[in-house]
Amino acid sequence: TFADGAVGLTATAILGSNRTREVSAVRSEIARQACREGYSLSEIASHLGINLSSVSRALAKSQIKQGKQ
pLDDT, tens digit, 9 for 90 and up, residues 14-60: 888 888 999 998 999 999 999 999 999 999 999 999 999 999 999 99
Name 14's Cβ contacts closer than 8 Å, sequence gap at least 6: 2, 3, 23, 26, 27, 30, 48
Q: What is the pLDDT of residue 1?
A: 45
User: What is the pTM (predicted TM-score) of this model?
Assistant: 0.79
4 SS3 class: strand
